[in-house]
Amino acid sequence: MMQDNIFLKIIERKIPAQIVYEDDRCLAFHDINPQAPVHVLIIPKKVIPTHADITEADKELLGHLHWVAAQLARQLGLEQGYRLVLNCRELAGQSVPHLHLHLLGGRRMHWPPG
């Protein structure tokens, strides 16, 4: 069911992406439709369809994704500030059925986001 999402194709190198970070648990790459000057997606290599699907076994992995986001924010020059977004399901704006963090920065962010 979820084995054919676009993020898995990126992980498996079946389609190209501008990868900025990779380790044994996750991958980070520039969004193809950026909503800010810096817009990176951080995804687990393990398929977790939505935030609602995380289990107790995923706690360390989710912490790792946030740690990677902080490292990338420093590496990408976002010391002045950045936003992390995690959408859960289609109604909230999740368009790919694979949990992912958006790291956005490089401009002033406003609230509410829309």
pTM for the structure as a whole: 0.93
Each domain of the chain, given as residue ranges in start order, spans: 6-105
Q: One of 39, 98, 100, 102 is an active-site residue; which one?
A: 100
Query: Which CATH code fits 6-105?
Result: 3.30.428.10
- Neighbouring CB atoms inside 10 A of 82's CB total 22
- Neighbouring CB atoms inside 10 A of 71's CB total 12
Residue linked to tokens 């936003």? 83
Reduced to 3 states (helix: H, G, I; strand: E, B; else coil), residue 38 is strand
Whether the bond between 112 and the residue before it is cis, its omega within 30 degrees of 0, is: yes
The model's pLDDT over 45-86, given as tens digits with 9 standing for 90+, comes to 999 999 999 999 999 999 999 999 999 999 999 999 999 999
Q: Is 51 a catalytic residue?
A: no
Q: Is the pLDDT of residue 21 over 90?
A: yes
